[in-house]
Amino acid sequence: MFQKVLIANRGEIAVRIVRACRELGIRTVAVFSEADRTALHAQIADEAVCIGPARTADSYLNIRAILAACELTGADAIHPGFGFLSENAAFARTCEKCGVTFIGPTPEAMELMGDKATAKTTMKNAGVPVVPGSDGLVTTLAQAKVIAEEVGYPVMVKAAAGGGGRGIRKVDTPDQLEDAITAAKQEAKNFFGDDGVYLEKFIVNPRHVEIQLLADNFGNVIHLGERDCSLQRRNQKVLEESPCPIMTPSLRKAMGEAAVRAAKACGYRNAGTVEFLLSGKDFYFMEMNTRIQVEHPITEMVTGVDLVKRQIRIAAGLPLELKQSDIVLHGHAIECRINAETPSLNFRPSPGRVQGLHMPGGPGIRIDSAMYQGFEITPYYDSMIAKLIAYAPTREEAFMKMKWALAEFLVEGVDTNIDFQLNLIKDPDVEAGAYDIGFLGRHPDLIPKGPAV
C-alpha cells in the first residue's frame, strides 16, 4: 500500500480523498493555490504545499508544480479527483515517468476514451449500442448532409474533444447544418484547442443513465448499478438519484453488461463511468468518464462500497476481490449539488464569505463539503460548495429526508441554489420519477424569482 498520497485537487473531493486515505492508514499531501490558503483541504491534510497563483493554469493545472510538490514531500501516488487533470493522459504519463503512481486508468485508456468520436467507434466494434451517426469525424458539409439524412433530423453536432456540455449544437433542419457545424467547431477550438466534430441523431427526451464501474489490474471488471442524472441545467447535472426510478432488473443487467464490455474493450482499470442515453427500452453509449464522478456518493450509499478507497487499493495493485454477485443494491439515495450562485440572476456565481452555516444531519444524511463558517468562497473555481446526500430504505423516504434536509440547510453570506433544489424535490413529476433530460429546460417556473437564500 502507498505510504503517502498527494491529492491534485481542491474542495470537497480533496477532503473526501483525505478521509479515504486516513481510513487506509495513508498519509496525505494537499496542494493549494494562493487563493486557497485557508481552504479546508489544505488544513486537514498531513502536509500542504502551495503550488502557485489562483489561476488554475498556474496551480491546479500546473503539472510541473504538482510533481515538484510530490518530489518535495516524497508522495508515492497522486489522486487527481475530478475535473482539473483527472482526464489528462499526458499528466498520467508524466506521473509514471516520474515514478509516481497515478490513481486512475492507464494513459492509453484515457486517450482512447478522451476522443469521443474514436470512443464511439471502439464501442460500436465491441458490440455496445451507440447513438446512430457518423463513423468518426465529419470533415465536409456534403458528408454531414448525407449522414444527417440517413439518421434523420434533428441531429447533434458534437465536439470530439468535448466535455462539460461544450461544443454541442442541435440541428433541426438541413439549412441549419452549416451554421451549426461552424459554431460547434469554433466553440470546440476555443475550449479544447481541437475543432474536430462528429454527428449523431438527436434523441428526443431521453434519460441520462450512467453505470459505475470498477476494474482492477487483473482483468476483473464489475458494475455497481446506475445513477439517473437526467435533471440537468444546460447539460450540467443538478440532482442525481440511484437507482434510476424507471429501472428494471433486466434493463440494469443489459446496461451493466454493455458498460463492462465497454471497459474491457479499452483495457480499462480503476473506477470509471459509462454514460448512456435511455429512450424507452433502447439505450445508447454516449461517453466514458475515466475518473471518479461528482455523484459517486449515491452509488456508495446503495452498494455499501467505498469507491475512493477502492480506487486507491486498485492503483496499489490489489485485486478487486468483489465479484458481480457481491453487488446488491439496497435502498435509495439522492444527491443535490449545492452551489454558491443566484438562480434568479441566471445562476450567476455568488462568491463571498460564509457568515453563518448550519448543515443538516441525522440518520441517512451525508454531506460532502469543504465549507465551514467564515470560509471565503473565491470566484476562481467551481461554484459547488456541498453535496447533500439523502439515503433511506425506500425512494419515498429518501425524498422526504431530502426535503427536510434542504429546508434545514442554512448558508448565510452568499446566495445558494438551495431553494431551487427544494422546488425541484417538491415537484410532483420529479417525485413521481417522471422526468427526462429536457425537464429543467421546460420548467423555468422552478427557478426562485426573488432574492436567493
Chain contacts with ligand ADP (rule: CB under 6 A): 82-84, 131, 156, 162-165, 168, 200-203, 208, 232, 235-237, 275, 277, 286-287, 289, 293-294, 381-382, 437
Smallest separation (angstroms) from ligand ADP to the CB of 25: 28
Cis upstream peptide for 448 (omega within 30°): no
**Alpha-carbon distance 429 to 366, whole Å?**
25
Residue 257, exposed/middle/buried by CB under 10 A (0-12, 13-18, 19+)? middle
Q: Residue 377 belongs to what H/E stretch?
A: strand 376-377
CA distances from 190 to 85, 236, 262, 327, 430 (A): 18, 19, 30, 42, 36
Smallest separation (angstroms) from ligand ADP to the CB of 383: 8
Q: Residue 68 belongs to what H/E stretch?
A: helix 63-73
The catalytic residues are 291
Q: Residue 148 belongs to what H/E stretch?
A: helix 141-151
Q: What are the residues facing 338 on neighbouring strands?
A: 386
Smallest separation (angstroms) from ligand ADP to the CB of 408: 25
Smallest separation (angstroms) from ligand ADP to the CB of 170: 8
Smallest separation (angstroms) from ligand ADP to the CB of 56: 7
**Alpha helices by DSSP H, 278-358:** 296-303, 307-315
Identify which of 326, 328, 310 has the alpha carbon closest to the alpha carbon of residue 270: 310
**Alpha-carbon distance 278 to 209, whole Å?**
6
Nearer to ligand ADP, 293 or 299 (CB): 293
> What letter does residue 203 receive in the DSSP assignment?
P
Nearer to ligand ADP, 27 or 227 (CB): 227
Nearer to ligand ADP, 236 or 373 (CB): 236
Smallest separation (angstroms) from ligand ADP to the CB of 240: 8
Spatial neighbors of 234 by CB under 8 A, at least 6 apart, are 165
